[in-house]
Amino acid sequence: MGMTRSLVFNAYFYLGTLVAAVIGIVLVPIPTPVLLRGLLHHWARAMVWGMHWIGGMKVEVRGLEQLPVTGPVVLAGKHHSECDGILLAARIPGIAFVAMQELFRYPLIGAILYRLQMIRVDTCGGGRERENLAQFAKRAYDSGRHIAIYPEGNLMAPGERERYRSGIYYLSRDLGLPVTPVATSVGLLWNRRDWWKKPGRAAIEFLPAIETGLDKQTFMRRLEEATEGASDRLIAEFSGRPHTPSQLVLRSQGQAGIGTPITAPRAAP
């Protein structure tokens, strides 16, 4: 049953994404990005609907009281899956994602990302990354948009963590914005880029914001401890396994991972 639901959902997801992309290309020449942002928001809502009703993936959203209604806001998320951004885009119209510079070079996709005014970041890191963040995030800041960034820079399986990159600290410092960590356990159902999705329950959780004015070391420690600790708690809750701290896996340096990923209990038919 679960395999059939996964196949049907995959067909829905890829066909819906293709249709949205074609419409998006038609909208790219329009000078304002408003229509394209509306398309992204409604596509994401349709995909979340499909996750729930077709794929059987029931994702709770917790801590909404921690999410400011209006921007600019910086969100720092744990990155389990392709659907992390979809869940945020469905909840927050006009959200600006920090995306790898390489994505902007892809045909069609790159043109859409440019028109959406997403934030380009150089994966080489260092000063170049900070310059890109400062330049492109300022535009989102001036527009009052929510800004979403994944500090690990890689998709991590449940139970894994990567080194948190310091670009998020400079983004918060330069814009003078607190950072709201976002924990998740969605990788239990949709792990990284896996073809097979699993019906079941999971959650994303918005956590109390980390204030501005902290030194880099303190900020980075608090961000990682809050995000990883809450994600580990959600993974334990929805997998039924004992609470276990995540393991450091440097996927950016070629490490393969922790082995068989943690999954959610089998859902009832």
- For residue 211, the enclosing domain spans 2-253
Q: What is the rounded distance in angstroms from the CA atom of residue 158 to the CA atom of residue 9?
A: 22
Residue 268 lies inside a defined structural domain of this protein: no
> Token digits for 231?
């994600």
Residue 258 lies inside a defined structural domain of this protein: no
This prediction has a pTM of 0.90
CATH of residue 203's domain is 3.40.1130
DSSP of 92-154: STT-EEEEEGGGGGSTTHHHHHHHHTPEEE-TT-HHHHHHHHHHHHHHHHHTT-EEEE-TT-S
Q: What is the rounded distance in angstroms from the CA atom of residue 150 to the CA atom of residue 52?
A: 24
Distances (CA, A) of 249 to 45, 184, 204, 252, 258: 32, 18, 22, 9, 7
Directed axis angle between helix 34-53 and helix 109-116, to 10°?
A: 110
Residue 67 lies inside a defined structural domain of this protein: yes
Residue 231 lies inside a defined structural domain of this protein: yes
Residue 56 lies inside a defined structural domain of this protein: yes
Residue 269 lies inside a defined structural domain of this protein: no
pLDDT at res. 223: 98
Domains: count for the chain:
1
Q: Which residues of the chain have pLDDT under 70?
A: 1, 122-129, 132, 260-261, 266-269
Q: What does DSSP say about strands 146-149 and 73-77: parallel, antiparallel, or unpaired?
A: parallel
Residue 266 lies inside a defined structural domain of this protein: no
pLDDT at res. 269: 43
Give the angle 135-139-141 at the CA atoms, nearest 5°: 110
Residue 261 lies inside a defined structural domain of this protein: no
